[in-house]
């Protein structure tokens, strides 16, 4: 009997070890990560900036949506599910690379844009990107120089059917969805989604399903906001953490040889008097300028891909990227059908939530301007963020929209039929220039007004009270 009991114990231990090792291999996490609870969110905020980022890591969605037979949720890149979030992104990028490189055995079917309703009604993950990527550029960032399927022009959204492993590329400008089927398309996304579903995720709905005339197809709101809350945060700028000499050292080998002045606003300016200069403002904005960049359009083979490589390498070696950074927009200028300049903008999120700063004249916290293959200007206002207050309850987004309609219809005398809600999402708003800076949860509502106004703008509203804190006009 003792021998049998010993055999049972040994067998049980072997099963446990097998499960642990399988989990480690399958999910690519450490043994410690299986058993040790994640660190407090406030502690995670002080992680060092990263300076070894690959450009492919900056292809991230603005929204990652899980569709599960009519049930939907928004997956945020927060501490508790960060590993799952990253695994879904990695698998999707790998599937896209297979599509770009493979033609044999790959089936392609072109569908109309309204096929998205069927995809959302089934079991899929939907990655909505912050802007429409050029197809060749998207492939190039993933390392594929000559991708197949050149009939595709833009990539707005990518959808993966996680039961079938079919992959869909959405090109809104072409009103098309490109469906790819192949035995070579594989992923672990279904396992990842099952893990999320076991955690009872929040329920969301697309408002255009209710009223397509008033809401765009990306307006995606939670239905159980009463169960959700967000803490108040505080932030310190890089200029509070580092001295101006330390910051200048990122750009000049010997800052002691530089000329430096302080203007009446308190901005510290370093210059070598000839080629380069750095401005460090009291509000935390760091700006590098090269005075020697060629103004003529002499480089005939300068491409957007070159610009992305230059920007990635420059930021990596000049203070680095904050956690969860991603490309938020690309602005191009051409002269004589040649690329002359390019502005690449990056954003980052805290626990999956984007950050808004109305006090600083920057739509995105990192901007790199490249002219003729050289960095002309580099601006950043990156913050070190920590939890500083209790969780705040959040007003229902439908209540927020009602408050906004009252403002537009009654105060601004705009016809309700001329108002289109383009998007609504939670964010953190930095306000004031104190040290540290306070950050509160807000609803950001992007609005398009037709008719005599024919304008678009962004309203920022206190997520707890609904008070309008900022409006575009």
Cβ atoms within 10 A of the Cβ of 146, count? Answer: 10
Could you tell me the pTM of the whole model?
A: 0.86
Q: Comparing 13 with 468, which gets the higher pLDDT?
A: 468
Q: Comparing 366 with 336, which gets the higher pLDDT?
A: 366
Q: Per DSSP, what are the bridge partners of residue 470?
A: 460
pLDDT tens for 455-466 read 788 999 999 999
Report how far residue 384's alpha carbon sits from residue 468's, in angstroms, rounded to the nearest whole number. Answer: 26
- The candidate with the shortest Cα–Cα distance to 157, out of 225, 220, 79, 87, is 220
Q: How confident is the model at residue 359 (pLDDT cuts 50, 70, 90)?
A: low
pLDDT tens for 226-248 read 778 899 999 888 988 888 888 99
Question: Tokens at residue 107, please?
Answer: 């089936």
Q: How confident is the model at residue 433 (pLDDT cuts 50, 70, 90)?
A: low
Q: What is the pLDDT of residue 202?
A: 79
Side by side, which strands form the sheet with 176-181?
Answer: 71-74, 63-68, 123-134, 154-161, 166-171, 176-181, 107-112
Q: What is the pLDDT of residue 297?
A: 54
How confident is the prediction for the chain on average, in pLDDT? Answer: 86
Q: What is the pLDDT of residue 100?
A: 97
Q: What is the pLDDT of residue 282?
A: 85
100-124 mean pLDDT:
95
pLDDT tens for 141-165 read 999 999 999 999 999 999 999 999 9
Degrees to nearest 5, angle at CA 235 with 232 and 237:
165
Residue positions counted in the chain: 473
Report how far residue 167's alpha carbon sits from residue 125's, in angstroms, rounded to the nearest whole number. Answer: 10
Question: Tokens at residue 386, please?
Answer: 């920590």
Q: What is the pLDDT of residue 256?
A: 73
Q: Per DSSP, what are the bridge partners of residue 236?
A: 384
pLDDT at residue 107 above 50? yes
pLDDT tens for 373-419 read 999 999 999 989 999 888 889 999 999 999 999 999 998 889 989 99
Q: What is the pLDDT of residue 302?
A: 85
Question: Tokens at residue 450, please?
Answer: 């037709």
pLDDT tens for 256-290 read 778 889 988 889 999 887 788 999 998 889 999 99
For residues 349 and 425, is the Cβ–Cβ distance under 8 A? no
Q: What is the pLDDT of residue 294?
A: 62
- Taken in order 398, 404, 408, 409, the sign of the CA dihedral is positive
Task: Please state whether beta strands 154-161 and 437-449 pair in parallel, antiparallel, or not at all (unpaired).
Answer: unpaired
324-348 mean pLDDT:
93
Fill in the DSSP letter of residue 201.
Answer: P
129-137 mean pLDDT:
96
pLDDT at residue 7 above 50? no
Q: What is the pLDDT of residue 32?
A: 31
Q: How confident is the model at residue 87 (pLDDT cuts 50, 70, 90)?
A: very high
pLDDT tens for 175-230 read 999 999 999 999 999 999 999 988 878 799 999 999 999 999 999 999 988 778 89
pLDDT tens for 24-46 read 434 443 333 322 223 343 444 33
Which CATH class, in words, describes the domain spanning 235-386? alpha beta
Q: Which residues lie closer than 8 Å to 43 by C-beta, 6 or more apart?
A: none
Helix (H/G/I), strand (E/B), else coil: 358: coil
For residues 252 and 270, is the Cβ–Cβ distance under 8 A? yes
21 preceded by cis ω (within 30°)?
A: no
Q: Which residues lie closer than 8 Å to 70 by C-beta, 6 or more apart?
A: 121
């Amino acid at each position: 009997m003792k021998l049998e009991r010993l055999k049972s114990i040994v067998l049980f231990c072997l099963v446990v070890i097998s499960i642990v090792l399988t989990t480690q291999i399958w999910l690519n996490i450490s043994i410690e990560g299986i058993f040790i609870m994640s660190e407090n969110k406030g502690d995670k905020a002080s992680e060092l900036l990263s300076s070894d980022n690959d450009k492919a890591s900056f292809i991230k969605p603005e929204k990652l949506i899980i569709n599960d037979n009519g049930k939907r949720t928004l997956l945020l890149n927060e501490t508790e599910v960060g590993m799952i979030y990253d695994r879904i992104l990695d698998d999707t990028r790998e599937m896209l690379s297979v599509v770009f490189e493979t033609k044999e055995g790959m089936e392609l079917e072109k569908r109309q844009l309204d096929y998205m309703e069927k995809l959302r009604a089934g079991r899929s993950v939907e990655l909505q990107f912050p802007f429409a990527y050029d197809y060749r550029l998207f492939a190039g960032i993933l390392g594929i120089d000559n991708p197949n399927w050149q009939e595709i022009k833009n990539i707005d959204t990518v959808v993966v059917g996680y039961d079938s492993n079919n992959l869909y590329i959405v090109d809104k400008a072409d009103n098309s969805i490109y469906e790819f089927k192949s035995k070579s398309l594989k992923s672990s996304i279904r396992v990842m989604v099952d893990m999320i579903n076991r955690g009872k995720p929040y329920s969301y709905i697309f408002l255009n399903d209710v009223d397509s005339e008033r809401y765009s197809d990306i307006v995606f709101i939670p239905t159980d906001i009463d169960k959700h809350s967000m803490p108040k945060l505080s932030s310190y700028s890089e200029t509070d953490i580092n001295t101006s000499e330390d910051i200048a050292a990122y750009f000049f080998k010997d800052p002691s040889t530089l000329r430096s002045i302080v203007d009446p606003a308190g901005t510290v300016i370093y210059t070598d008097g000839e080629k380069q200069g750095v401005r460090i403002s009291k509000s935390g904005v760091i700006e590098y300028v090269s005075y020697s960049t060629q103004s003529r359009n002499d480089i005939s083979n300068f491409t957007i891909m070159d610009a992305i490589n230059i920007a990635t390498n420059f930021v990596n070696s000049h203070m680095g990227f904050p956690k969860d950074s991603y490309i938020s927009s690309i602005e191009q200028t051409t002269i004589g059908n040649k690329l002359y300049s390019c502005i690449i903008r990056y954003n980052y999120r805290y626990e999956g939530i984007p950050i808004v700063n109305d006090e600083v004249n920057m739509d995105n916290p990192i901007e790199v301007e490249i002219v003729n293959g050289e960095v002309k200007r580099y601006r950043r206002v990156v913050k070190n963020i920590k939890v500083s207050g209790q969780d705040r309850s959040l007003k229902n987004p439908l209540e927020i929209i009602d408050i906004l309609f009252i403002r537009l219809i009654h105060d601004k005398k705009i016809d309700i039929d001329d108002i289109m809600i383009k998007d609504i999402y939670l964010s953190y708003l930095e306000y004031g220039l104190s040290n540290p800076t306070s950050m509160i949860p807000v609803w950001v509502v992007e609005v398009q007004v037709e008719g005599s106004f024919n304008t678009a703008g962004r309203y920022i509203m206190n997520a707890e009270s609904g008070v309008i804190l900022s409006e575009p006009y």
